[in-house]
Amino acid sequence: MSTIYHFKTMPISSPKSYPKRIAIVGDLGLTYNTTSTVSHLMGNNPDLVLLVGDVTYANLYLTNGTGSDCYSCSFPDTPIHETYQPRWDYWGRYMQPLVSKIPIMVLEGNHEIEEQAENQTFAAYRSRFAFPSKESGSSSPLYYSFNAGGIHFIMLGGYVAYNKSDDQYMWLEKDLANVDRTVTPWLVATWHPPWYSTYTAHYREAECMKVAMEELLYEYGVDLVFNGHVHAYERSNRVYNYTLDPCGLVHITVGDGGNREKMAIEHADEPGKCPEPSSTPDKFMGGFCAYNFTSGPAAGNFCWDQQPEYSAYRESSFGHGILEVKNETHALWTWHRNQDMYNKAGDTIYIVRQPEKCPIKPKVN
């Protein structure tokens, strides 16, 4: 039997009650940078941790435990791609001092797909974490929702069907319609691949998901979005359909947790760094939705020629973020770089809700 552990549950759902600090991190893995990130994160004493995908990178390790950036290249003839499952165990043991005391909520990234025999996917991910799918009316562990005090979190799946006729979209529409903003004023959505990233890596890769779901999230007044996938930090201004909008969503990418892949450095708006459009769609999900812009400063082009106006701040450094919701309308966001001292922030901003200026669809009774 293990040692007995204890943790503090989330405060009751109420517009006056919030977790003191919520740590948000993505693309964590198990590297030297991971240890620095987790150390800094624990130093901020969070009440809740959100891990927005790419947990262990077990799929980049061969069955003998050595690393490989391309499993199918190393073993082109094998029908089974189980990856190196002990990597999950290593990660779990390393994370125990944190996750045995602090609740952690996880969503899947592309490195959790782990395609195996008989078309199995997400097998390790489904087995190693608990998800309130049934409690939130979801039929899948790949998307679900939960409350943490006066915040309603929506955890979406970037690697499961998301069009209007698909189960995830219909679940999302129902979940949004049932949110009571008098009880949970804050509405926060997370998924792995970002919609608003200006880095060349994964540029406009999730455009089809954006096309399918952005309008719905906008109509229901989602306040904040957190993503990973791109191995860098970026925060947007309030934006909708690539246009500045005072009622739009703030998108924050925190894919800088410590992964075993390279840091994203190049930006698509730099000379010669705009990717070929046909190379951008996600290979697992397929589809092509990213066309040249039809309006604004980038009209007629696939990329901007300068940092887009919707991109407020971007930096290629490892780190994590802390969200502190103060009341029904104000939340403090701080991004902490690993190279800084523990009490220093690399990016700080207050996120302000203005429900009187941005009407939303009413709750369905």
- Here the tokens at position 349 are 């901003």
Residue 54 CA to chain centroid, in angstroms? 9
Question: Nearest CA to 123 among 161, 157, 82, 155?
Answer: 82
User: Rounded to an integer, what distance in angstroms lies between the CA atom of residue 238 and that of residue 42?
Assistant: 30
Instruction: Give the amino acid at 279.
Output: S
Collect all residues with Cβ–Cβ distance below 8 Å to 144 and sequence separation of at least 6.
131, 132, 133, 135, 136, 138, 155
What are the phi and psi torsion angles at 207 (to 5°)? -60, -35
Residue of 202, 231, 251, 267 marked catalytic: 202
CB-CB neighbours of 84 under 10 Å: 21
User: Rounded to an integer, what distance in angstroms lies between the CA atom of residue 114 and that of residue 125?
Assistant: 9
Question: Nearest CA to 336 among 266, 254, 277?
Answer: 254
- Here the tokens at position 213 are 């779901």
3-class SS at 50? strand
DSSP string of 242-311, one letter each residue: TEE-TTSBEEEEE--S--SSPPP--BTTSTT-PPPGGG-S-TTT-----PPP-SSTTTTSSS-SS--TTE
Does the active-site annotation cover 202? yes
Instruction: Give the amino acid at 94.
Output: Y
Q: Which residues are catalytic?
A: 202
